[in-house]
Amino acid sequence: MPSDSEISDQGFHLSRHLPILGWGRVYTRLQLTGDLLAAVIVTIMLIPQSLAYAMIAGLPPQMGLYASVLPLIAYAIFGTSRTLAVGPVAVLSLMTAVAAGSIAAQGSSGYIEAAMLLAVLSGGILLIMGLLRLGFLANFLSHPVISGFITATGILIAAGQVKHILGIDAGGHNLFEIIASLVAHLPKTNIPTLIIGSVSLAFLFWVKTGLKSSLVALGIGETPARIIARTGPVFAVAAGIGVVALWSLADKGVAIVGEIPQGLPTLSIPRFDQELWTSLLGSAALISVIGFVESISVAQTLATKRRQRIQPDQELIGLGASSLASGLSSGFPVTGGFARSAVNFDAGAETPAAGAFTAIGIALAALFLTPLLYFLPKAVLAATIIIAVLSLVDFKALRQTWRYSKNDFAAMLATILMTLGLGVEIGITTGVALSIFLHLYQSSKPHFAIVGRVPGTEHFRNVLRHDVITCDRVLTVRMDASLYFANARFLEDTIYDLISRYKGLQHLVLMCPTVSVIDASALESLEAINQRLEDAGIQFHLSEVKGPVMDRLKRTDFLEHLTGRVFLNQYQAIKALDPNPDQEPEHALSLIHI
């Protein structure tokens, strides 16, 4: 029989992959109360959100509700965040519409099948990434690229919803086509729809910017006021339904949601069509990575506030299970959303059980409340979407990035322009490709400095930035990056250029305090440098080599052929190579820009 310790270890490993076994064992009545309260509030908020995001995706409204049931239960079992609220989000909804739209016409059975398959594929990709611990791949999406993509997506979504505010039939695959279509159809604007949409926009804008402060002024606490403000769209939905039903505005051309089928989603496995699966695989991969990056940033932000931990690789599994559950239950791709997660957090959610309770609430709404949504104006849903996504538009980040890094700004601006001009998939792909290219370009020409000793100390600094002591017989250069295939040639060319400038050199020391890796290509370059310096009568030395790097060098014959020595620190090197280390040389090395 297994020992108690073995059983304990097995339980630990099992709960690592099934977090519910961890927090579920110690679940308390107090936590239950907090989770139930949060679930009620998030359910109220999530009903109009789910309908709105289904509209962005070009799907029937009930699919938004379906995507908010089983995915939440799946995340409660496999997710590690205590407060992350999973469900449809604006960015993934638009990406779903673009991908599914390339397969079939919006509203067709093929379109709906493609949306469900995207959820299954993206869920499977996330699960595989989690099992293989590939969460680091998301790091290839730099923050400026993500910020630019979300900004452009917010603009596209908002522009795409203007047609519902005006009550016209317009469309387009990019911003310019959307604007041109809106202008062309502007004379057909439906006045009642425009009034409902405009009033809803004004009301929701006030809710977002002024309701909280007004409630606080009335004596309501900060947290309740914030929760009420974030659930403001519910009031707009209720008012819109009442107005349309009371004055029979549907008969006057006001577009409404109409009949939403009552009942729970049916479970189904997508049919295997190799051509269809292959055509959607790239889009599903993009949806997976974008969804993971958005979700993990929200989860970590909220976890930090409570000093809790998020396990990125397990989050991949949790989000993968959620998206897979969505696709198998007539939903579309989902991830953790900021707005509903913030409400969940503020409402006092203690564990992922709050998400499971929210799923029950959404299921009850799908069973019993959908008839009440019949007269819901699409203009009101469009207004909620516009107000929500405009908060994603961040031109301030564009200005800040320009001031800090021109390369990052280039990647960010290219992502925005390509997304607006050519579509979301081309935009994000361009941003990622440009980020990787710029990273490789920058790392191929790392910072490289001639250094000297600060008088009266054992510290060595860049000769271009500090008043330092140098020696005309010893040249010390510092490499501020790891050495690998992309910058190995740069290292060779720079050192060869330096020795051609300084004729009296006897020693060259490569200072390596920030070199964490020397790959095979860089090792060959070091061997070539050593030979070239030997031919020139100059000894080649290394200093401040990190332990792991030194271990790898010892497994080669490089150190046996090194003409100089390896010093523990640069001060030891100068003491050994310069007979008068504390004396200013009569002919200091001329300074050059590296």
pLDDT in tens, 159-205: 999 999 999 988 888 899 999 999 999 999 999 999 999 999 999 99
- 315 with 295: CB under 8 angstroms? yes
- Rounded distance, CA 178 to CA 301, Å? 35
178 vs 156: CA distance, rounded Å? 9
Q: Which pair of tokens denotes residue 230?
A: 């974030």
How many residues in total does the chain contain?
Answer: 594
For tokens 């579920």, the residue is: 24
Q: Could you give the CA distance from residue 411 to residue 425 in angstroms, rounded to a whole number?
A: 15
Architecture in CATH for domain 448-577: 2-Layer Sandwich (3.30)
pLDDT at 420: 92
Give the CA distances from residue 292 to residues 11, 316, 336, 355, 403, in Å, rounded to whole numbers and listed in that order.
27, 7, 8, 18, 29
pLDDT bracket for residue 580 (50, 70, 90): low
Question: pLDDT class for 468, splitting at 50, 70, 90?
Answer: confident
pLDDT at 220 (0 to 100): 87
Mean pLDDT lowest for which of 11-15, 58-62, 87-91, 434-438?
11-15
What would you measure as the largest C-alpha separation in the chain, in angstroms?
98
Q: Is the Cβ–Cβ distance between 351 and 23 less than 8 Å? A: yes
Q: Residue 582: what pLDDT? A: 57
Radius of gyration of the chain (CA): 30
The pLDDT score that the predictor gives to residue 316 is: 93
Q: Which helix (H) or strand (E) holds 131?
A: helix 109-131
The mean pLDDT value for 495-516 works out to 88
pLDDT at 240 over 90: yes
**Cα-based distances in Å from 215 to 222, 224, 309, 342:** 8, 9, 34, 19
Q: Where are the domains of the chain?
A: 28-265+281-436, 448-577
pLDDT band at 15 (very low <50, low <70, confident <90, very high): low
Dihedral through CA 90, CA 96, CA 98, CA 104, nearest 10?
-140
The answer to whether the CB of 443 falls within 8 A of the CB of 455 is no
Residues 207-236: tens digit of each pLDDT:
888 888 888 888 888 888 888 887 778 889
- Residue 367 CA to residue 352 CA, distance in Å, equals 23
Among 5-19, 100-114, 127-141, 468-482, the range scoring the smallest mean pLDDT is 5-19
Quote the CA–CA distance of 143 and 438 in Å, as a whole number.
14
Could you identify the residue written with the tokens 């590939």? 134
Tell me what percent of the residues of the chain surpass a pLDDT of 90. 53
pLDDT for 262-297, tens place per residue? 999 889 888 888 999 999 999 999 999 899 988 988
pLDDT at res. 442: 82
- Which pLDDT score is estimated for 174? 87
Report the distance separating Cα 315 and Cα 131, nearest Å: 11
Kindly list the distances between the CA atom of residue 182 and the CA atoms of 155, 161, 381, in Å, as whole numbers in the listed order: 15, 10, 18
The percent of residues in the chain predicted with pLDDT above 70, rounded, is: 94
Q: How far apart are CA 517 and CA 481, in angstroms?
A: 9
Q: How far apart are the first and last CA of the chain?
A: 68
Q: Which two tokens stand for residue 464?
A: 């271009």
- Is pLDDT above 70 for 5? no
Among 244, 337, 318, residue whose Cα is nearest residue 17: 318
Q: What is the mean pLDDT of residues 142-156?
A: 87
